[in-house]
Amino acid sequence: AQIEGMPWLGTFHAICVKLLRRHAELAGLKTNFTILDTDDQVRLLRQLANAANIDEKRWPARQLASIIDNWKNRAWTPDKVPVAETNAFNQMGVELYAQYQERLKALNAVDFGDLLLHVVTIFQTHEDVLKQYQRWFRFILVDEYQDTNVAQYLWLRLLAGGHKNICCVGDDDQSIYGWRGAEVGNILRFEKDFPGAKVVRLEQNYRSTPHILAAASGVIAANAGRLGKTLWTEANDGEKLRLIGHWDGEEEARWIGEELEAMQGGTRGQRPMSLNESAILVRASHQMRAFEDRFLTIGLPYKVIGGPRFYERMEIRDAMAYFRLAVSPADDLAFERIVNTPKRGLGDKAQQKIQMMARTNGVSLIEGARLLLATKGLTGRGAAELHKLIEGLDRWHLAIRKAEVPHTESAEQILEESGYTEMWQNDKTPEAPGRLENLKELVKALEGFENLQGFLEHVSLIMDNETEDAAEKVSIMTLHAAKGLEFPAVFLPGWEDGLFP
């Protein structure tokens, strides 16, 4: 049974679920409402966009889901979305948002963003409910306050408004989640929101050496609008930071690989260090490719934390499938992967027809597709798009055989003309820019090879060289994935203006 006198402990969303179940009727819901996951949310928005005759290829439902999530993080209901935002999603964003909220209500469902939004709205419109919880939660403690968004901030302001017994722990210098709605201004203006608040600076550091703290403080000092602090430690000075310059990312990866191998035996008077004790932290995932290539080539065991390896990423596998088809048009597995990516109106039924035609005639899928078009077995948009795809594959195959243009140019041409690059350019989800960077990095990787076929063979061989069973592995991860972790030896590649920091 729920013990009302006990403290409540949980994330903002977990606590809001409890509150919303108690007051569901005030949000037009029943207490047994369903919480949709991202796939359900996208499916529902796709239905609404299709009904409004919006081109899914140009305006993907996932993009609309991301826009609506952002609005909910800012505590904007459809009627509160500012005029400046009304151009969103082909000027249909706000209207579809309103329809989406009505549809959710009819389904007795909420999405993740609604959990906070509904409770904030209830607190704002039902003073008796707000006062009940202000009496109930007389003391509020918040961790990682720098990562709160606008909706969470409003929720806290309302809840703590009566007694002002609120303790927030956070560090404005650690605000790294702005891309997903976190608002560092929440912590910067805390003293204005709660006049007379006592500020306690926790400046003693227990993890790092004085040299590391001095370097970190020197870098962060350039940030505008900081609360400011002076970090110190009782630890020994330790090793000085080493700054090593390299001509390019490939040379950087080669040097770090050699350094990791040397460190296992002990180097520069240091104790031997296992691979498990070392980490490579990058600003963006596309930087991992050079390290993965190098480590796979020399057989150095590694693991990618917080995401797939470079050549296992969805966009890389898609692009590689296009390259494989351009080199070998009879590659059926590659054809299956890209025939409807980006969307070409070639769903399961159309693909089954292609497979049946290919099997019946004992030919590859691309030849089966040709026969299907020749016999008018496919009509409408799907037929036109399939014809365009086959024409493109024929053109790219011929260009690669003739080798009249550099293979890197051919690769870019394939990704452009297939519509694959454009698909990610039009995608407004937070992951899209990273995927485009990864595609650029893939094309860059081709520069070290004579042709596309040589590159494809290289990738197959190095992926076969994976050392999955190795007990010790160096960790490669983004800075976001590294938050809160510790390693005795850390490499920070790519310290270049505009990239890191």
Please, which residues have CB within 8 angstroms of residue 195's CB and are 6 or more apart in sequence? Answer: none
| Percentage, residues of the chain above pLDDT 70 | 97
How many CB atoms are closer than 10 A to CB 362? 8
CA 192 to chain centre: 34
Is the confidence at residue 468, as pLDDT, over 70? no
Whether 312-464 and 201-241 are alike in CATH topology: the answer is no
Render 87-105 in DSSP notation, one character per residue: THHHHTHHHHHHHHHHHHH
Please give the pLDDT value at position 114.
Answer: 96
Condensed to tens digits (0 to 9), the pLDDT of residues 373-405 reads 999 999 889 999 999 999 999 999 999 998 888
Given a cut of 80, is residue 371 above it in pLDDT? Answer: yes
Provide the residue ranges of all domains of the chain, joining segments of one domain with +.
Answer: 12-120, 137-193, 201-241, 249-301+471-491, 312-464
Q: What is the pLDDT of residue 90?
A: 80
- Bridge partners of 282, per DSSP, are 478
Number of Cα atoms under 13 Å in the Cβ half of residue 414: 32
Q: What residues does 109 pair with on adjacent strands?
A: 34
- State both tokens at 89: 């999603």
Superfamily of 201-241 according to CATH: P-loop containing nucleotide triphosphate hydrolases (3.40.50.300)
Q: What is the pLDDT of residue 198?
A: 94
- Model confidence over 230-243: pLDDT tens digits? 999 999 988 899 99
pLDDT band at 4 (very low <50, low <70, confident <90, very high): low
Measured over the CA atoms of residue 154, residue 155, residue 159 and residue 165, the dihedral's sign is negative
Write down the pLDDT at residue 3: 45
Structure-token pair, residue 460: 């197959």
In this structure, are residues 146 and 187 in contact, taking their beta carbons and an 8 Å threshold? Answer: yes
pLDDT of residue 463: 67
Residues 6+ apart with CB under 8 A from 81: 71, 93, 94, 97
Confidence band for 34, pLDDT divided at 50, 70 and 90: confident
Sheet containing 489-491: give its strands across. Answer: 302-304, 474-478, 278-282, 489-491
**Rg of the chain over CA atoms, in angstroms?**
27
- Percentages helix, strand, coil for the chain (3-state, rounded to 5) are 55, 5, 35
pLDDT at position 467 over 80:
no
Identify the pLDDT of residue 466: 55
What are the structure tokens assigned to 323, written together?
């390259």
Q: Give the pLDDT score at 1.
A: 35
Its CATH architecture, for the domain 312-464, is Orthogonal Bundle (1.10)
Write out pLDDT tens, residues 74-114.
Answer: 999 999 999 988 888 888 899 999 999 999 999 899 999 99
Report the percent of the chain where pLDDT is more than 90.
62
* pLDDT at residue 86, rounded to an integer: 82
pLDDT of 387:
96
The pLDDT value recorded for residue 498 is 84
**What mean pLDDT is predicted for residues 156-160?**
95
Confidence grade of residue 121 (pLDDT, cut at 50, 70, 90): very high
Looking at residue 304, the DSSP 8-state letter turns out to be E
Residues 6+ apart with CB under 8 A from 490: 278, 279, 280, 281
Assigned token pair, 98: 């309103």
Element spanning 251, H or E:
helix 249-265
On the question of pLDDT at 6 being above 60, the answer is yes
State residue 364's pLDDT score: 92
* Residue 456 CA neighbour count, 13 Å, CB half: 18
Q: Which residues contact 143 (CB under 8 A, 6 or more apart)?
A: 169, 170
- CATH for 12-120 is 1.10.10.160
Higher pLDDT, 23 or 1: 23
